[in-house]
Amino acid sequence: MKNLYGVQNELHLKNQSYLVVQMMQEHTQDDEYFEYPRFQTFKSGLYDYQQKPIFSLIEKPIKYFLEGYHVDDKDAYLITKLPAGKYFGADYLVIKNRLSYFEVYEKSMFILLSIAILVFALSFLFLNRFAKPFKQVNKKLDNFIKDSIHEINTPLSIINVNIDLYNRKHTPNKYLQRMKAAAKVLSNIYNDMDYLIKYDRLDFEKESINMAEFLQERIDYFLEVAQMKNITLSSNIKNNISLYMNTKQFQRVIDNNISNAIKYSYEKSTIEVNLFVQDGICFLSFKDYGIGIEDVDKIFNRYYRESNQTGGFGIGLNIVKSIIDKAGIELTIDSMPKRGSTFTYKFPTTIVTLN
């Protein structure tokens, strides 16, 4: 486009040169004077054979005085040979104007923008059509998972209820206790999956929670799961603390921390659960003596698991992170490989009441 613009500019200067020559031809000796033509878009001048100006409106000296069309920096020159002695003793007519590629750039940008919009539109169209079958498959898969989750809840409840009824009538059986512990592990996974499906569609109403009672209830729930690895659940819980939060969300935080602590602890070790107040701030910590964490920054990524031997889907801590971020709860993690981990939650004073 620049080359084309240069050719067009050369033709334009030739037309202007022809116009100046035509005006000089119309001048006769009978005329009192000759008014040299002046134009806004270009300047011109008459030069002798030594390339010195006879009369010129060109202020800048011509660096390369070459017959024909040439460009010096951003200035374009057209130097035309005149018949000797015919036009006021001049041998050359020089026409000059300033090259401006603004119009070229403007057209180029318009073309590029048009191409970009066209490519984007076509890409969006093709990608949308290409992704349509996958969207349909994903939708069917989501519906299948939702239906499956709901179907799992009923047999889980039946298993737990029947084990409890059996234990009331008979001497506790270690095999049934293991079955119940496994059912509780599966129930915790079910609750995580159920939360993931519903969290963006439900409005989780907040209520006042007695933290000590609620925390102890969840610890008791996981006692049988801990006993499968001969792990002791130790607790030091301060009473008279109320938490204004959704019960299901708070349960997900507690359950996933205790479940992970059991999962990654060594056998015959201890898990310490502490609820305490320091300088008027409420803290909840979960400390285990297990394999520890190698990459703390990745454990909150959905589906991330540091060890494939412990099972799970890698969604528990991702759920915990989303809940505490919305509630304004701060989390600090102190972990050493093969020594254990401590998860400490700091609750804002806006959602905690110390009675």
Phi/psi of residue 250, each to 5°?
-65, -35
Report the range of poorest mean pLDDT among 68-72, 104-108, 284-288: 104-108
Q: In the block, which residue shows the tokens 């592990």?
A: 185
Instruction: Compute the distance between CA of residue 230 and CA of residue 129 in angstroms, rounded to an integer.
Output: 55
Question: How many angstroms separate the Cα of 151 from the Cα of each of 144, 156, 189, 248?
Answer: 10, 9, 14, 20
Mean pLDDT within 248-261:
93
Give pLDDT, residue 246: 93
Burial of 273 (0-12, 13-18, 19+ CB in 10 A): buried
Q: Are 75 and 96 in contact (CB under 8 A)?
A: yes
Give me the amino acid identity at 297. D
Give pLDDT, residue 184: 85
How confident is residue 189, by pLDDT bands cut at 50, 70 and 90? confident
Give pLDDT, residue 41: 84
How confident is residue 281, by pLDDT bands cut at 50, 70 and 90? very high
What tokens appear for 308 in the block? 């494939």
User: CA 24: distance to chain centroid?
Assistant: 69
How many CB atoms neighbour CB 51 within 10 A? 13
Q: Is the pLDDT of residue 36 over 70?
A: yes
Phi/psi of residue 253, each to 5°?
-65, -50
Mean pLDDT within 37-46:
87
How confident is residue 119, by pLDDT bands cut at 50, 70 and 90? very high
Give pLDDT, residue 178: 84
- Considering just the CA atoms, what is the radius of gyration of the chain in Å? 43
Q: Which DSSP string corresponds to 202-242?
A: S----EEEEHHHHHHHHHHHTHHHHHTTT-EEEEEE-SSEE
Q: Long-range pairs for 40-43 at CB < 8 Å and ≥24 separation? A: 41/97, 42/13, 42/16, 42/95, 42/96, 42/97, 43/95, 43/96, 43/97
Instruction: Compute the distance between CA of residue 119 and CA of residue 124 in angstroms, rounded to an integer.
Output: 8
Average pLDDT, rounded, for the chain: 86
Look at residue 332 and give its three-state secondary structure.
strand
> Which carries the bigger pLDDT value, residue 310 or residue 317?
317
How confident is residue 175, by pLDDT bands cut at 50, 70 and 90? confident
Give pLDDT, residue 73: 82
The percent of residues in the chain predicted with pLDDT above 90, rounded, is 38
> Which carries the bigger pLDDT value, residue 8 or residue 214?
214
Q: Is the pLDDT of residue 306 over 70?
A: no
Q: Is the pLDDT of residue 309 over 60?
A: no
> Checking phi first, is residue 8 left (phi over 0); if not, alpha (psi -120 to 50) or beta?
alpha
Q: Long-range pairs for 162-171 at CB < 8 Å and ≥24 separation? A: none
Give pLDDT, residue 247: 93
Q: Is the pLDDT of residue 285 over 80?
A: yes
Instruction: Compute the distance between CA of residue 100 and CA of residue 110 in angstroms, rounded to an integer.
Output: 17
What tokens appear for 71 in the block? 């460009």
Q: Is the pLDDT of residue 5 over 70?
A: yes
